């Protein structure tokens, strides 16, 4: 476990460019691990580790088949009861979409979430924050509320936080915030499809041809324990 008082901001990567792709990469940290700040980005079969806002920023990104590890955080004053083991909840995402016209958002498709900690799926870093989890396995690390409005409690109708076809004990929606959105199948298809959400100009296909981007050649380099 890591004491909250000892955590410092330490990004593993800061993305401030358009059209960046990562395959089989590892990003390790506690707070602000992946600074997904500006532009379109694609992550496939990557490993991302952290505790607080560890995928954050105003990027427009798809995280495909990625492994997300939630680290444990405690405080000097936290109770050490058997229910929460002294843990305080962190935040996996802090997405910063600021206006309705912005195309940004974080989409997690076919991912897995596990770890020794507890976390919200995300909190609203912007008034129009947008995060979608689709077909993601969630271990018992997600707090029942699921999402946090943070500094935008009066704008939750503008925030788009979505879970679709997710599995595992952490995907139980009992106790979720009442303002979590439900999208139509057409809208979900738009977000999880790289061709519509990220790649209308074909930049992904222009990447080096020796990579089989959407095939099976890339093998996961890390597997979480079953849950």
Catalytic residue numbers, as ranges:
32, 53
Contacts of residue 52, defined as CB under 8 A and 6 or more positions apart, other chains included, come to 7, 30, 31, 32, 73, 90, 91
CA distance 149 to 63: 22
CA distance 143 to 208: 41
Query: In the chain, how long is the greatest CA-to-CA distance?
Result: 54
Residue 227: strand, helix, or coil: coil
CA distances from 76 to 3, 7, 90, 123, 157 (A): 7, 13, 16, 24, 36
């Amino acid at each position: 476990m890591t004491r909250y008082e000892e955590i410092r901001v330490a990004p593993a990567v800061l993305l401030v460019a358009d059209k960046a792709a990562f395959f089989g990469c590892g990003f390790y940290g506690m707070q602000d691990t992946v600074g997904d700040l500006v532009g379109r980005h694609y992550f496939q079969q990557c490993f991302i580790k952290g505790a607080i806002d560890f995928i954050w920023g105003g990027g427009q990104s798809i995280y495909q088949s990625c492994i997300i590890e939630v680290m444990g955080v405690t405080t000097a004053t936290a109770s050490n009861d058997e229910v929460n083991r002294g843990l305080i909840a962190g935040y996996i995402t802090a997405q910063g979409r600021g206006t309705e016209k912005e195309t940004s958002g974080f989409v997690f498709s076919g991912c897995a979430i596990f770890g020794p900690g507890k976390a919200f799926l995300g909190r609203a870093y912007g008034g129009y924050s947008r995060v979608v989890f689709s077909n993601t396995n969630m271990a018992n690390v997600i707090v029942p509320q699921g999402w946090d409005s943070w500094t935008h409690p009066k704008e939750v109708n503008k925030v788009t936080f979505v879970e679709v076809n997710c599995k595992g004990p952490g995907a139980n929606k009992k106790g979720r915030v009442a303002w979590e959105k439900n999208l139509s199948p057409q809208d979900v298809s738009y977000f999880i499809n790289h061709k519509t959400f990220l790649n209308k100009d074909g930049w992904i296909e222009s990447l080096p041809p020796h990579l089989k981007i959407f095939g099976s050649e890339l093998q996961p380099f890390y597997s979480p324990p079953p849950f």
